[in-house]
Amino acid sequence: MKKILVFASGEGTNFEAIVEYFKNTDVKIELLCNVDDAGVLRRAKRLNIKSYLVRFAATYEFLKDKKYDLYVLAGYMRILPRGMLDFGKFVNIHPSLLPDFKGVDAIKRAFLSGKKETGVSVHYVNEEVDSGEIIAQQKCIIEPEMKLCDLEKKIHEIEHKLYPKVIKGLLC
């Protein structure tokens, strides 16, 4: 059995996509959240996934006595320090074609940039924001008639398909 710890701070749509993808497999998923009222905690409860509410300052202590095969960031809005990254393999998903539009509001910045394409990147986590080695990318065309909400929907659809497949490949 493989064990994954998903880190999330928000609504948890990528978390849910990962859980659904690995349903009825030998992959055990747990959640670490750092925000009291995050939607991802409600999703975890509904999906019967063990979750931990851990303040960021206490994350190192929480992780030091546990072992997971893969640590998966899915909307976890904190930068992990080097010491934490030594616990294992950490991956992240980002809604742009890195190295373009690192950090927050990437979809909006891509939309307003005038570029004709953006996309989704899955990468290893290092100490710098969205700067680790890229594992996979998938492009998304920004159509001239698109609204920002259309692009956001398209990006999230790509994320929900790409991330679980990449995770599966990393667990093999």
Q: How confident is the model at residue 13 (pLDDT cuts 50, 70, 90)?
A: very high
40 neighbors 106 (Cβ within 8 angstroms): no
Residue 98 lies in a domain: no
Percent of the chain exceeding pLDDT 90 equals 98
3-state secondary structure 78-112: CCCCHHHHCCCCEEEEECCCCCCCCCCCHHHHHHH
Are 107 and 155 in contact by the 8 Å Cβ rule? The answer is: yes
Q: Which pLDDT tens digit goes with each residue over 56-104?
A: 999 999 999 999 999 999 999 999 988 999 999 999 999 999 999 999 9
Specify the pLDDT at position 95. Answer: 98
Mean pLDDT rounded to a whole number for the chain: 97
Query: Which token pair is 19?
Result: 């859980």
Distances (CA, A) of 73 to 33, 37, 102, 113, 115: 10, 18, 15, 26, 27
- Give yes or no: 94 in active site: yes
Q: Name the band, by pLDDT with cuts 50, 70 and 90, for residue 159.
A: very high
Taking a C-beta distance cutoff of 8 angstroms, is the pair 8, 33 a contact? yes
Choice among 18-22, 125-129, 134-138 with the minimum mean pLDDT: 125-129
Residue 111 lies in a domain: no
The pLDDT score that the predictor gives to residue 14 is: 98
Is residue 21 a part of any domain in this protein?
yes
Asked, for residue 109, whether it belongs to a domain, the answer is: no
What is the reported pLDDT for 82? Answer: 86
Q: Three-state DSSP class for 4?
A: strand
C-beta neighbour count of 125 within 10 angstroms: 23
Say if pTM beats, i.e. exceeds, 0.75: yes
Cα 172 from Cα 162, distance rounded (Å): 16
Residue 35 is part of which domain span?
A: 2-93+124-137+159-171
H/E element holding 69?
Answer: none
For residue 138, what pLDDT is reported?
98
* Mean pLDDT score, 155-159: 98
pLDDT of residue 147: 97
Contact 114, 100 (CB under 8 A): no
Considering the domain boundaries, does residue 106 fall inside one?
A: no
The token duo for 78 is 């904190």
If one counts the domains in the chain, the total is 1
- Residue 99 makes CB contacts below 8 A (sequence gap 6+) with 130, 131
More confident residue, 82 or 120: 120
Confidence band for 169, pLDDT divided at 50, 70 and 90: very high
Residue 64 included in any domain: yes
